[in-house]
Structure 1
Amino acid sequence: MHLKEKLANTALMSIVPSFWLLLTIAIYWETVSLNCQPNPVQVVCKISGETVPGETRVLEIPKAQLAGIDIIDRQRKGKHRIGLITIDKTEIPLTRNWSGDATVQLEGQIERIRTFIADPHLTTLNVSTHRRLPLFPLIMTGGILWFHGLWFKRVWLVSK
């Protein structure tokens, strides 16, 4: 096998683990925090989180501007995102990735957030997601790396 073929095989075989790693990060890395606290004038909700490594976002909105929470951006095959709805019908996505782990965790909190927004007497809310250890993707990543190690050995050391 010539050097050009070896380099082409190496580049081709690097695509799969790179794609798998990016997919795992997109599904499991994202965190979201919705923290509503009273301040001297009004209740302010601070939305923060980390969508990908190194990228954080922070947004503050008064509770009085919120009309509800709902599933937004429905995609085919049941994929969706969760977002806050303002009184002027603007959607504020809480999650970036469709049906990622943060979205799944927020689904269990929708009624709690909905109740908080609807009740003007409630002034404090703290909802946050966390990163969970993705056991299956870690096992798959190990298998993919093992397979690629064998493949690279075959391409670079065995074939002449």
Structure 2
Amino acid sequence: MRSANYRAFHRRPPAIVQVRTTALGDLLEPSSHRFVHIDASHMYDDVRGDIDITRRILRPGGVVALDDYRTERVPGVAAAVREAVFTKGLHPVCVSANNLYATWGAGDPLREAVRQWADGQEGMKAVNERIAGEVMVRVAGGHTERRCLARQLARELLPRRSPMRTAA
């Protein structure tokens, strides 16, 4: 099913690159991604490098989802995320139970979209939290909040390329 889903929107099969994520930075075009989900190694140095790569490859207004940002069994993730927020200029947009969604640019339009979306969902709520002088949205409620939240953020991002359009 997933393969058929992918083929409905892409003419070519996906390029599968099997390398350490630190090598991806040189393989990916600058400003080429709307959404990046980091969920590979949980070691501090690796996560730190992955976050640094997103600064180069995300489009303006793009979002990085950081998985396990507060899981006690992987403290390296929390340390790398905090470092990026407090010293590198990563702006938190919102959090769910295990993911932090952030952007390198202005997060206000995304925060507002998430707030409106969550307030319209039964059993969900958006709560403003202030961190380092910035407002971040905490989304609470519902067992599917992570998947739904990621989908909502993807809708709010820069327009996608039209289906079936491929790079020359």
- TM-score category of the 2 structures, normalised to the smaller one: under 0.3
TM-score, length of structure 1 as denominator length: 0.25
- Whose Rg is larger? 1
Q: Which has the higher contact order (CA 8 A, sep 6+)?
A: 1
Which structure shows the higher strand fraction?
1
